[in-house]
Amino acid sequence: MRQSKLGKKIGLYSVLALGALVSLFPFYWAAIGATNESGKMFSKPPVLVPGEKLVENVSNLNESINIGRVMFNSLFVAIVYTVLSLLICSMAAYAFAKFRFKGRNLIFGIFLLSMMVPYHATIIPLFKMMAGFGWLDTYQAIILPNLAYPFAIFLMRQNMLAFPTSLIEAARIDGSGEWKIFFKIVLPSMKPALAATAIFLFLYQWNSFLWPLIALSSNDMYTFPVALSSLFGLSRIDYGQVMAGVTIATIPIIIFFLALQRQFISGMLGSAVK
């Protein structure tokens, strides 16, 4: 019996280890490519050991896209968007979960249906709107659209449905206002859900490419996806630079996820259980 359980555990961990290797290999390949010259990226057999071109590739990349400026743009846009969107989506989720008003389910259903609308269908109206405001090639053109992210509202609402309504009613009886209840009582208990939602929002904005490509026109405003796309020329592509840029762009994502991974797992489990 014990041998059977041991065999199952070995098989399970072997599958998990294989899955982890398959998932991590693209990151490893990109990091190795950043240390080698461009010609070795597609050599046969493939080069899987570090080279000596990391400093040169990073230096060339900095000359091409100005890494410091691009990193600042990406971090500023992603962080500000995440904070603002998290606040707006949390308030909307609280209203959908704990307030009773006419048309609540209908409005929430419309929010969910909006996720089925192809994003490309909104590009032209959004571009005309930003042009009318004079916001093209600015931070607000990238940050303000999609602040009310439907999936984030859905995720927060599912977690807030589990929050005891009796605590909110008791706070109201004690004389607390709705703002105080929301910020002092409800939000502090939603930390796992907030962390999970923050990761989704951060990744969504950090990896956003199509809209920043359309809305931004100057190199000083480029975020990482747009800046990296400028490295792909018509004739020659320096894959050493590209892989160095991909590796640098991946680091903030990994740090952000590792910092919030415990809360992320708890938040996702809380939503799933509900």
In this prediction, residue 47 has a pLDDT band, given cuts at 50, 70 and 90, of confident
DSSP output for the chain: -HHHHHHHHHHHHHHHHHHHHHHHHHHHHHHHHHTS-GGGTT-SSPP-S--S-HHHHHHHHHHHH-HHHHHHHHHHHHHHHHHHHHHHHHHHHHHHHH---TTHHHHHHHHHHHTTS-GGGGHHHHHHHHHHHT-TTSHHHHHSTT-S-HHHHHHHHHHHTTS-HHHHHHHHHTT--HHHIIIIIIGGGGHHHHHHHHHHHHHHHHT--HHHHHH--SGGG--HHHHHHTT--SS---HHHHHHHHHHHHHHHHHHHHHHHHHHHHHHHHHHH-
pLDDT tens digits, residue range 84-128?
Answer: 999 999 999 999 998 888 888 888 888 888 888 888 888 999 999
| pLDDT surpassing 50 at residue 271 | no
- Set out the domains of the chain in order of their start, with CATH numbers: 59-273 (1.10.3720.10)
Give phi and psi for 233, each to the nearest 5.
-85, 180
Which residues have CB under 8 Å from 51's CB, separation 6+? 32, 35, 36, 37, 40
How much is the pLDDT for 198?
92
Average pLDDT over residues 244-256: 91
Nearest to 197 by CA among 225, 159, 163: 159
In this prediction, residue 3 has a pLDDT band, given cuts at 50, 70 and 90, of low
- Exposure of 54 by Cβ count < 10 A (0-12 exposed, 13-18 middle, 19+ buried)? middle
Measure the CA–CA gap between 73 and 77, rounded to whole angstroms: 6
The token duo for 30 is 């990109």
pLDDT tens digits, residue range 148-191?
Answer: 898 999 989 988 988 888 889 998 888 888 899 999 989 988 88
In this prediction, residue 273 has a pLDDT band, given cuts at 50, 70 and 90, of very low
Percent of the chain, pLDDT > 70?
A: 94
pTM: 0.87
